[in-house]
């Protein structure tokens, strides 16, 4: 049963008619007292409630009711109804436990879409079919899960992929967080590829690369002559993403003025191209990503709190590579194979010693940095088997050795320890040690001299 709580009879009637027509069981309450009587005696699937009642125009009565509902039925999702001018009230409601808010007047299609999404998420019935293997298995059209180019078998990655499976087939807005180079775009692509929208466009937008003056033209489009340089019509990114998914990367870089314009589109799924007076309607799923701490930015008044709640129905955090080192062997193998294939080179192998050495590095640039190092080493070394020395050489050449610390040890100390360990293993045999490290005898002697190894 979906419970509608509003003191306006017309709103109760229209919502009730809309929901019943879609096959939902509906209950109505005209005041908080009636609502709590229903909540105490029967657990609703969902509560849709107004924030303002006749006795209160401040929203206090609505907030009190919301808190009471969450005490008696903590697992029941609540959608708030508010006017555009009182969205700050809806934000207070979201802090108190509501899952979403809609503004008056609402769009019936958009409202039903949100209701369906929230009920799916709450029931756990949104799981995509199939179980993925560990490396880039693609769906074959039979409902299998498509993880695309997401490589890894660590618990962190497996948990994230399980989350992607659960949410992909809903229309829930998703916020993906994590350091640069952790693969946020790949997760966004996987969500789209496993969604009901997978045959529709996946439009990527780097908000950090769009100037404030061009934001509206880029996102919403413009008509010829709308401004001085508008020599022809331009289709905006939202229009291009209609029926599909729009990926808003680096959303934390968005100017506060542009945040307001974006919020209106996400809230109402309508926009007006520059130079056009009639609004255009779109049906898009929104996935956002950032390496910034948006909650901290909200506290600093640099990011709108209402926008954060709108983009953040589901949150996925990608850990840095240093927290999932067990995935490094698979990633190295994949990047080495990919580099050889793209450059028509014979297949190369990476030695166990090289893998172990790579697992010790901090990789502040995460997967992107590891990919660049593997590519550079494959292309420059020209060897069939890559040793630790080959990677050390390229890592040093890229300027990575220096004052960087790892668990209290400099990378120079790690390199020295690696050489000492190999010398010990091969009874100080220089030829065998150099071969194990993948470097020449001369290169090994230079490193021994550098580190004072006799």
pLDDT, tens only, 292-307: 999 999 999 999 999 9
For the chain, residues classed under CATH 3.40.50.2300 are 2-123
pLDDT at 409: 52
pLDDT at 89: 80
Helical H segments across 227-348, by residue range: 237-240, 256-268, 294-299, 305-311, 328-342
CATH code, residues 322-450 = 1.10.8.60
- Whether 392 shows a pLDDT value over 80: the answer reads yes
Q: Residue 17's pLDDT band (boundaries 50, 70, 90)?
A: very high
Question: How far is the C-alpha of 298 from the C-alpha of 16, rounded, in Å?
Answer: 36
pLDDT at 59: 66
pLDDT at 194: 95
pLDDT at 73: 92
User: Which string of DSSP letters, residue by residue, matches 157-176?
Assistant: HHHHHHHHHHHHTS---EEE
Q: Considering only 177-191, 288-302, 305-319, 398-412, which range has the smallest mean pLDDT? A: 398-412
pLDDT, tens only, 198-225: 999 999 999 988 888 889 889 998 877 6
Peptide bond preceding 105 in cis form (omega within 30 of 0) = yes
Q: Residue 182's pLDDT band (boundaries 50, 70, 90)?
A: very high
pLDDT at 226: 65
pLDDT at 143: 58
Contacts of 435 (CB under 8 A, 6+ apart): 387
For the chain, residues classed under CATH 3.40.50.300 are 156-319
User: What does the mean pLDDT of the chain come to?
Assistant: 86
pLDDT, greater one: 57 or 230: 230
* Alpha carbon 258 to its chain's center: 21
Contact indicator for 291, 252 with CB cutoff of 8 Å: yes
Q: Which CATH number fits domain 156-319: 3.40.50.1580, 3.40.50.300, 3.20.20.70, 3.40.50.2300?
A: 3.40.50.300
pLDDT at 404: 45
Contact indicator for 307, 193 with CB cutoff of 8 Å: no
Q: Can you read off the two tokens belonging to residue 39?
A: 């909540």
- Whether 288 shows a pLDDT value over 80: the answer reads yes
Q: Which residue, among 302, 217, 301, has the nearest Cα to 253 in the 3D structure?
A: 302
pLDDT at 224: 79
- What's the rounded mean pLDDT across residues 272-290? 90
- What's the rounded mean pLDDT across residues 444-450? 84
pLDDT, tens only, 68-113: 999 999 999 999 988 765 677 888 888 889 998 888 888 898 899 8
pLDDT, tens only, 124-133: 644 333 333 3
For the chain, residues classed under CATH 1.10.8.60 are 322-450
pLDDT at 396: 77
Surface-to-core class of residue 255, CB atoms within 10 Å of its CB (0-12 exposed, 13-18 middle, 19+ buried): middle
- What's the rounded mean pLDDT across residues 134-140? 40
Q: Residue 228's pLDDT band (boundaries 50, 70, 90)?
A: low
- Whether 431 shows a pLDDT value over 80: the answer reads yes
What residues pair up with 398 in beta bridges, in sequence order?
A: none
pLDDT, greater one: 422 or 288: 288
Superfamily of domain 2-123: Response regulator (3.40.50.2300)
């Amino acid at each position: 049963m979906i419970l509608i709580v509003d003191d306006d009879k017309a709103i109760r009637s229209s919502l009730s008619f809309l929901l019943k027509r879609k096959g939902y069981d509906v209950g109505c309450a005209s005041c908080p007292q009636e609502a709590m009587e229903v909540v105490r005696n029967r657990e609703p699937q969902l509560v849709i409630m107004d924030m303002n009642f006749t006795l209160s125009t401040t929203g206090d009565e609505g907030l009190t009711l919301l808190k009471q509902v969450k005490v008696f039925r903590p697992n029941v999702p609540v959608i708030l109804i508010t006017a555009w001018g009182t969205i700050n009230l809806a934000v207070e409601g979201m802090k108190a436990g509501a899952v979403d808010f809609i503004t008056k007047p609402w769009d019936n299609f958009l409202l039903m879409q949100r209701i369906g999404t929230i009920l799916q998420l709450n029931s756990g019935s949104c799981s995509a079919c199939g179980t993925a293997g560990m490396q880039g298995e693609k769906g074959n059209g039979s409902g299998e899960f498509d993880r695309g180019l997401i490589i890894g078998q660590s618990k962190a990655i497996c948990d994230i992929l399980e989350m992607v499976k659960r949410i992909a087939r809903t229309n829930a807005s998703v916020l993906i967080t994590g350091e640069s180079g952790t693969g946020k775009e790949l997760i966004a692509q996987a969500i789209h590829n496993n969604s009901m929208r997978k045959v529709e466009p996946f439009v990527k937008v780097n908000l950090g690369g769009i100037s404030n003056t061009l934001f509206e033209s880029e996102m919403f489009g413009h008509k010829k002559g709308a401004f001085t340089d508008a020599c022809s019509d331009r289709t905006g990114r939202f229009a291009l993403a209609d029926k599909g998914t729009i990926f808003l990367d680096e959303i934390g870089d968005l100017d506060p003025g542009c945040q307001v314009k974006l919020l209106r589109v996400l809230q109402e799924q309508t926009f007006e191209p520059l130079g056009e007076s009639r609004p255009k309607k779109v049906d898009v799923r929104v996935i956002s990503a950032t390496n910034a701490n948006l909650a901290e930015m909200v506290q600093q008044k640099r990011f709108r709190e209402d926008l954060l709640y709108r983009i953040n129905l589901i949150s996925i955090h990608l850990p840095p590579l240093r927290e999932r080192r067990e995935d490094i062997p698979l990633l190295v193998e994949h990047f080495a194979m990919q580099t050889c294939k793209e450059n028509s080179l014979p297949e190369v192998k990476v030695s166990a010693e090289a893998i172990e050495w790579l697992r010790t590095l901090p990789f502040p640039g995460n997967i992107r940095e590891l990919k660049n190092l593997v590519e550079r080493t494959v292309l420059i070394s020209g060897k069939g088997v890559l040793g630790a020395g080959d990677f050390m050489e390229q890592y040093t050449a890229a300027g990575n050795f220096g004052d960087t610390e790892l668990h209290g040890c400099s990378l120079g100390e790690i390199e020295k320890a690696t050489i000492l360990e190999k010398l010990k293993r091969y009874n100080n045999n220089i030829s065998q040690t150099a071969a194990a490290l993948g470097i020449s005898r001369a290169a090994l002697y230079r490193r021994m001299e550098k580190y004072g190894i006799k």
